[in-house]
Amino acid sequence: MLADASPHLKVALRRLRLQAAVARADQSGVLKPEEMGQLVAQLANARRDELAARSAGDGELPIDALARRLELRPLDESVLLAAVALEADPLFAITVSALGGEEPRQGLTAKLLAQLFGFAGDETLDLGLGAMHPLVRSGLLESPHGSAGMVETLRPWRAATRAVSFLAGSDDLDPLLLRCGGVIDVPENADLDHMSHSLELLGRAISSDQDVIVLVEGPEGAGRRTVAAAAAGALGRAAVMIDAGRLSADPLRFSAELRALRRECWLRGALPVVARIDALRRDGREGRFPEIADALESPGAISGAAIITAVDGGELPDFRRRIFRLKVETPGAKTRQRLWSSALGTLSGLAAENGAPSPLASVAERYTMTPGVIQRAAANARMLAQGRDLTVADVQAGVSTEIYERFGGLATRVKISQSWDDLVLPADTLDEIKAFSARAKHAALVYETWGFRDKLQRGLGLAALFSGPPGTGKTMVAGLIAGALDLELYVVDLANVVSKWVGETEKQLGRIFDAAAMGQALLLFDEADALFAKRTEVKSSNDRYANLEVNYLLQRIEAFGGVAILTTNLEASVDPAFKRRLAADVRFYAPERDERERLWRTLLPPRAPVAANLDFTALADFYKDMCGGHIRNAVLRGAFLAAAEGKSIAQDHLNRAARTEYRAMGKVL
């Protein structure tokens, strides 16, 4: 560790080794007066050499930087260097062990330091190695675990490993800090134009030297950490971060990681950043909030501003300092196009030709993505292209992969293979569906070009309720609408969303809506009455929290800027307040006789071997209670019966399959 240390540190450690030898010789009395004089002379020469090496250093030495930031006295510097020597210089450790017996194995005590420096009487009081000593509160000196209850003069102190490496000139971070954070770097060629306002405000807060907590809010990937690092860099400072979501679950390690952040900020004069503080709330670890607050506000914390980041403020630690909130917004379409171009590079497959608009313009307009998400989606696209020129299809595939990951298993991507020609519905119902699809298709024209967005700040999304008996085609229609709008269909997994824990369902739903809004996905809430049920009179805490879930959904549906479709077999169970927020309320009815006959015909694929004398009219007349889903099951069951017998699909196969399906429906023939 000390091979590449500065000349000053090497000379300082040699001086401390001689000082320990003098103290040991004075204690034991084994040296003759002339030998003792020679040793003292060597110590005096070492002190002069140390001063010369210090003044000859290029730039500010690490020990000088620490002395300035922590306002250390010369005695404090000597104490720190002695603790470093105990860790890094074997000869010093041997001599001190001879001086103090077993004590130095745990560290240096105030008593041992007094012997080392030759203190006597009231001079020993100057050491003052208590909790408020700058070397202790900054974390540069640490007391071994289990020694907290000892008398102050007997409590041992050791230099933190990172303090030793820093004074030796190393820039390597503490492994504890590397595990959960590190120094935030501003990406090369980062496009910060859209963050100029946030950078200006944050720069003012940092340069004011006021003890303030700056909360930087914004969606994931919006550049909350980048804006912190850029603002600190403009003032010649680094930004050192810990990610709250990656902090250890072990209490002792958790505290050690916070101390590592505080220590590194003192060593570098850096800006402390606690990123994703809301992750503790999501993980149910709000009990750690006081430790976070203490790490940023205690006397050991670096003075001035500290930064925390979150998607939204929500519940925060109970800070004593004033909180200044700052919002980092998702960039606009033009900025997103620049970000896409920068992330993908100049690739001929996406270059604009003959004055035509860039293919990336439509990608930027369609996907409301943050800079960080754009970078990851672009990396996905390059991986999929495998070195060839990128196409828009590659970019869309990269985006699709990133969005799917953002749903986190809370929704499943579904592809519908049917076409509009396969849809058998009454003309009125079909007209309602196509009107809803057209409204979604022309939303940009009406809201943006015609200016309706300025008049309607909320409720710009489209929500529809599809109600009717099972098997009437509600889910299929949702897939067809998604295909018509060039959107991906995501079916919300209610089993993973609904939680017995208070507030957890709302968090999961928020994640779903955020992911859908970013990627322009169509959300399908199948069996929506489970979530959107009527609010009831509050008679217990369960009623109160159930009503809160519905209230949250009402707000998110209204604020959601995308397309959401709710399907239910029990329309009467859905809360009436949703009706006002619906762009369409489509009722699906059981098919009439002619529609049933068409369903029997259209559900048989053209390539399937079919007998010539099939009587679809008889099937439609006899099985009157069958809807499209039941007829589909019967046709598929009949096809397997025919395949098992090695024959074409005949009337007998369909009749047998239909009877089985009828019994499964609970019907009596």
119 and 186: one domain?
no
pLDDT in the model for residue 64: 87
Question: pLDDT (tens digit, 9 = 90+) per residue, 360-379?
Answer: 787 887 788 888 888 888 88
Integer Cα distance of 227 and 202 in angstroms: 8
Asked whether residue 580 carries a pLDDT value surpassing 80, the answer given is no
From residue 260, alpha-carbon distances to 85, 175, 344, 366, 512 in Å are: 21, 9, 37, 43, 35
Residue 291 falls inside a structural domain:
yes
Q: What's the angle, vertex CA 596, arms to CA 593 and CA 598, rounded to 5? A: 115
Between residues 178 and 57, the one the model is more confident about: 178
pLDDT in the model for residue 299: 75
* Residue 13 tokens, joined: 């450690």
Q: What's the angle, vertex CA 12, arms to CA 9 and CA 16, rounded to 5? A: 135
pLDDT in the model for residue 55: 76
Q: CB of 534 within 8 A of CB of 579?
A: no
Between residues 449 and 194, the one the model is more confident about: 194
Question: pLDDT (tens digit, 9 = 90+) per residue, 335-353?
Answer: 888 888 888 875 545 655 5
Residue 669 falls inside a structural domain:
no
Asked whether residue 227 carries a pLDDT value surpassing 60, the answer given is yes
Residue whose token pair is 């017995």: 500
pLDDT in the model for residue 300: 75
pLDDT in the model for residue 257: 92
36 and 160: one domain?
yes
215 and 287: one domain?
yes
475 and 545: one domain?
yes
* pLDDT band at 219; cut points 50, 70, 90: confident
Q: What residues make up the domain containing 358?
A: 333-405
Ranking 30-34, 211-215, 218-222, 479-483 by mean pLDDT, the lowest is 30-34
Integer Cα distance of 205 and 211 in angstroms: 9
Q: DSSP secondary structure string, 296-315?
A: HHSTTSPSS-EEEEESS--S
Between residues 119 and 179, the one the model is more confident about: 179
What is the amino acid identity at position 598? R
pLDDT in the model for residue 463: 83
Which of 621, 570, 569, 566 lies closest to 593, judged by CA? 621
Residue 412 falls inside a structural domain:
no
Ranking 41-50, 189-198, 300-309, 457-466 by mean pLDDT, the lowest is 457-466
Residue 486 falls inside a structural domain:
yes
365 and 272: one domain?
no
Last residue of a domain, one of 586, 608, 641: 586
Asked whether residue 149 carries a pLDDT value surpassing 60, the answer given is no
Q: How many residues does the chain have?
A: 669
Question: Per the structure, how many domains does the chain have?
Answer: 5
| 3-class DSSP assignment, residue 566 | strand
Mean local confidence (pLDDT), 621-635: 89
pLDDT in the model for residue 349: 55
Mean local confidence (pLDDT), 520-538: 75
Residue 411 falls inside a structural domain:
no
The domain that holds 348 is classified in CATH as 1.10.8
Residue 410 falls inside a structural domain:
no
Q: What's the angle, vertex CA 323, arms to CA 321 and CA 329, rounded to 5? A: 155
Q: CB of 309 within 8 A of CB of 273?
A: yes
Residue 1 falls inside a structural domain:
no
546 and 474: one domain?
yes
* pLDDT band at 216; cut points 50, 70, 90: very high
46 and 100: one domain?
yes
Last residue of a domain, one of 286, 310, 327: 327
| 3-class DSSP assignment, residue 89 | coil
pLDDT in the model for residue 21: 83
Last residue of a domain, one of 302, 327, 352: 327
Residue 414 falls inside a structural domain:
no
138 and 253: one domain?
no
Q: DSSP secondary structure string, 155-204?
A: --BEE-HHHHHHHTT--PPPHHHHHHEEEPPPPTT---GGGHHHHHHHHH
- Quote the mean pLDDT of the chain: 82
Q: DSSP secondary structure string, 359-411?
A: HHHHHHHH----HHHHHHHHHHHHHHHTTSPP-HHHHHHHHHHHHHHHHTTSE
The domain that holds 446 is classified in CATH as 3.40.50.300
110 and 11: one domain?
yes
Q: CB of 267 within 8 A of CB of 301?
A: no
pLDDT in the model for residue 265: 92
450 and 581: one domain?
yes
Ranking 66-70, 379-383, 447-451, 494-498 by mean pLDDT, the lowest is 447-451
Asked whether residue 469 carries a pLDDT value surpassing 90, the answer given is no
| pTM as predicted | 0.77
Integer Cα distance of 266 and 626 in angstroms: 74
pLDDT in the model for residue 121: 58
463 and 568: one domain?
yes
468 and 443: one domain?
yes
Mean local confidence (pLDDT), 271-291: 86
Backbone angles phi, psi at 462, to 5 degrees: -125, 125
